[in-house]
Amino acid sequence: MVAIRNRVAIAWVCAGLSTTPPLALAGDASIGKIRAQAACASCHGVDGVSANGRWPNLAGQNDLYLVKQLKAFRDGSRKDAYMTPMARPLTDQDVRDLAAYYASLPRP
C-alpha cells in the first residue's frame, strides 16, 4: 500500500501538482466496511473471504485493482449477472470506500 501511495505521489509531482493527492481520491475503509457488510458479504464473505469458490476473496486485494474492476462492472465494460447490477448504483466514492476496506483486510 505504501509503494502505491509513493507511486501516486511521484505521478502527482511529475504532473506539477501537490505531493498529496486530493482527499476525494482516498477511500474511507470504515464507510466501505458498512457498505460491504450490507451488500457484499453474502457472496464475498463477512471479512472478504468467500465460503464459495464461485466468488473471489476480496480481502487484501490491491485497492486500485478493486476500483478498476468495480468501475468496469458499473459501466458495463465487464459483465457479470450478479456484479453488474450490484455495481451500477455505486458512486465513485462508494467504489473507493469499498476498495479501501477490502485492501485494508489481511489476505486469507
- What's the per-residue H, E or C state across the chain? CHHHHHHHHHHHHHCCCCCCCCHHHCCCHHHHHHHHHHHCHHHHCCCCCCCCCCCCCCCCCCHHHHHHHHHHHHHCCCCCCCHHHHHCCCCHHHHHHHHHHHHHCCCC
- Is residue 60 situated within a structural domain? yes
Q: How many domains in the chain?
A: 1
At 44-93, the pLDDT tens digits run: 999 999 999 999 999 999 999 999 999 999 999 999 999 999 999 999 99
- Is residue 79 situated within a structural domain? yes
* CATH number of the domain within which 33 lies: 1.10.760.10
How high is the pLDDT of residue 107? 96
- For the entire predicted model, the pTM comes to 0.77
At 2-51, the pLDDT tens digits run: 555 555 545 544 444 444 445 446 899 999 999 999 999 999 999 999 99
